[in-house]
Amino acid sequence: MNKQRVSTGQAFRATLQRDLLIAYKRKNDMVNPFMFFLIVASLFPIGISPDSERLAEIAAGVLWISALLASLLAMDNLYRADYEDGSLEQLLLSPHPLYFMVLAKNIAHWLVSGLPVVLISPLIAYMLNLPSESYMTLFVTLLLGTPVFSLLGSIGVALTVGLGSRGLILAVITLPMSVPVLIAGTLAIEQTSNGASLGGYLAILGAMLVASISLAPLASGAALRISVN
């Protein structure tokens, strides 16, 4: 009956697989943020002006804000089901560092809610008449920025998962933390279209990503412990 212990890597993979499997079985959760992104971004031409010159001006900001709101919308179901059915307790009681377990959940969550938004963004950019030389910049900066949104959002969700009525509190916690990413992302697109080099902005966004990968799961883990207390 003496079975082999599991390495942290294996537990990480098992958790990642489980969350992807759950997402696959709950397809509407997967499609929601994606559809939300699509709809919000298409409201701007309707609400502001279909004039292509003016759209081109605001396109970068619209895309980034829509991506941020879509990520916020998807955040709530990161820990809620696990909290309600007790799986979260099992995760907290695993003999592995909570950092890696939380990171696995965050990665799975970004893969199903963040990545589709990034992939579809060039299409929306075309609709909003973003200058075509900025497509690559948009894609790359979103690729670096949306995981930061997910990782930061995870802290907010972990803090609020135990509350009965969450309402807007998640947005109040998360959105201010996301502002630097939003600034860096939109500036990158704006400045590179004026001839600035992309390198510096990518370095800043990359640094934000690295910092949030290394620190945010620790904060989420601590917040989860408080929430189940």
Partner 1 sequence: MTPASVDTSAQGIATRASQSLTRAVMLDGSDLFCERDDRILFEHLSFTVTEGQVLQIKGSNGSGKTTLLRILCGLNDSYQGSIRWYGQALEAQVEEFYGTLLFIGHRVGVNKVLTPLENLRWTCSLQQQVADAELYQALAKVGLRGFEESQCFTLSAGQQQRVSLARLLISDARLWILDEPFTTLDAGGVSLLEGLLRSHADAGGAVIVTTHHELRVADLQQMTLG
Residue ranges that bind partner 1, judged by CB under 8 A:
1-6, 10-11, 14-15, 18, 21-22, 25-26, 81-82, 84-87, 89-96, 228-229
In terms of CB distance, is 32 or 191 closer to partner 1?
32
Q: How far is the CB of 38 from partner 1 (least distance, A)?
A: 25
218 Cβ partners below 8 Å, 6+ apart?
99
Nearer to partner 1, 8 or 191 (CB): 8
Contact 182, 62 (CB under 8 A): no
- Which burial class, exposed, middle or buried, applies to 97 when counting CB atoms under 10 A from its CB (0-12, 13-18, 19+)? middle
Shortest Cβ 142–partner 1 spacing (Å): 29
Residue closer to partner 1 (CB basis): 3 or 53: 3
Phi, psi of 58 (to 5 degrees): -95, -5
- Residue whose structure tokens are 């075509």: 132
Amino acid letter, residue 120: I
H/E stretch holding 35: helix 27-47
Query: Closest approach of Cβ 88 to partner 1, in Å?
Result: 8
Token pair recorded at residue 217: 């799961």
Shortest spacing between CB 81 and partner 1, in angstroms: 7
Nearest approach in angstroms of CB 227 to partner 1 is: 11
Question: By CB neighbour count within 10 A (0-12 exposed, 13-18 middle, 19+ buried), where does 42 fall?
Answer: middle
- Residue 7 CB, shortest distance to partner 1, in Å, is 9
Closer to partner 1 by CB, 7 or 132: give it. Answer: 7
Q: 5's torsion region: left (phi>0), alpha (psi -120 to 50) or beta?
A: beta
Q: Which token pair is 181?
A: 């990413």
Pick 13 or 119: Cβ nearer partner 1: 13
Tokens of 199: 């390198």
Kindly tell me which of 77 and 191 has the beta carbon lying closer to partner 1.
Answer: 77
